[in-house]
Amino acid sequence: MREDILPSEPRNRTPPLSLGRLHYAWVVAVTGSIAMFCGLGLGRFAFGMLLPSMSASLALSYTQSGILGFANLIGYLVAVLLSPLILPRFGTRLTGTASLFVIAASMLGMAFTTSFPMLCAFYVLTGIGSGGVVLPMMSVMSHWFFPSHRGLALGLVMAGPGFGIILSGFVVPKLLPFFSLLSWQTGWLIFALINIVVACLTFALIRNHPNDVTHSPFGRIPTSPVKNKKKLERSNLKLLVHLGLIFAIYGATYMVYVTFIVTSMVGSYQLSEAAAGGIWAWIGLLSVFSGMLFGWISDHIGRRLGLALAFFFLAIAYLLVGLTDWHLGLYLSIILFGFVVWSVPVIMAACAGDYFGAAAAASALAALTFAFSSGQALGPVAAGYLAELTGDFRISYMVSGIAAFVAIGLALLLQPQKPL
């Protein structure tokens, strides 16, 4: 049995797929990126762009806005908890496809309601669908790529959400009411239709394992033995907790930023919604390259130093909007955040495969993502509460910057990874 095969994952004996000299691993990676465009780009990050118009039409408070974000993360956590049970049985292809249809159904629900409780319920479903896309698309790269190219491949997958941010930044400010639907409801309707199309594409192109298309993983074969454990070992628990704490800090801090930075631009910086949308789109444009860049960097300097470098740039981005109220500081913050936003998830997904082995990568990534999602759930709620007390989000951004520096220290305390 191959060392990097997940034994319990079904192998669909489909005919070999030939695309000239292109290794099918890259087809899987690009398809995963398109799925992530919907799962995260539209399923989560478009929310920050739609939030100002939703808040205005529904008279939502900062706390209610935070609760909506929290609802999404509750759904995401549910998906994370279920993934280790579902993935081995159904595989990435079916799980990812079904999750995209769940996102589409939830967005259709949001497009036809103005009830806050119903919006929360539907956004929980969106979170479930998002988690059901992210974990499979990230963990399957450990099967398709050896460590020499794993970070780069994961960076390509994480380029997808950036295009979702770009689309929402340009499209949302131009949305108009459609029949009885408000502009933000029209947005959810459009995003639902896109999810349906991408779900069909995912089912057509994603494969669970290289054996399904008579390929071997792409990249340089490791010189040291590859772990082939089916499950996480107790000896790895300390490392898993250490990585989970780092990922939780990232989840809390970055979620505060992506949820409320557009609200801050419109409120604190007095920018129009169209101008804020243009700046938001710049985050998306820069983020397209961030995952690939830091994935490549971590492939060469190691995951430990890659994490520390990523959190350094995040800390500066948070503090620029937490400590200043000048527009140049905002623009520099946007550039830095976009430059580094997908770095930590990419490196963490690579860590799951590198430290725990391809077979246990999905379980390790699920545990890490649970910590990440816990941080995401708490961040927006805490930031919304602080904003109610202080009138803006500056304190929240400052706390995020301090937490990012703590994460740098935690990253440097990791043991250097043994070369593969």
Question: Mind listing the pLDDT tens digit for each residue in 256-287?
Answer: 998 888 888 887 888 887 788 788 778 878 88
Give 218's strand partners.
145
> For 15-66, how does the pLDDT look when each residue is reduced to its tens digit (9 = 90+)?
334 344 778 889 999 999 999 999 988 988 788 778 888 888 888 887 788 7
Annotated domain spans of the chain: 24-220+232-412
* pLDDT at 237 > cutoff 60: yes
Q: What percent of the chain is helix, strand and coil (3-state, nearest 5)? A: 80, 0, 20
Q: How long is the chain?
A: 420
Choice among 45-59, 90-104, 107-121 with the minimum mean pLDDT: 45-59
* pLDDT at 10 > cutoff 70: no
Q: For residue 14, what pLDDT is reported?
A: 37
Record the tokens describing residue 168, joined without a space.
């929402």
CA distances from 372 to 131, 325, 345 (A): 12, 29, 9
* pLDDT at 233 > cutoff 70: no
Give 181's strand partners.
178
CA proximity to 80, closest of 26, 121, 136: 136
> For 145-165, how does the pLDDT look when each residue is reduced to its tens digit (9 = 90+)?
887 788 888 888 988 888 887
CATH topology of domain 24-220+232-412: Growth Hormone; Chain: A; (1.20.1250)
* pLDDT at 385 > cutoff 90: no
Q: For residue 18, what pLDDT is reported?
A: 39
Q: At 248, is the pLDDT very low, low, confident or very high (cuts 50, 70, 90)?
A: very high
* Mean pLDDT across the chain: 83
Q: For residue 214, what pLDDT is reported?
A: 76
SS3 391: coil
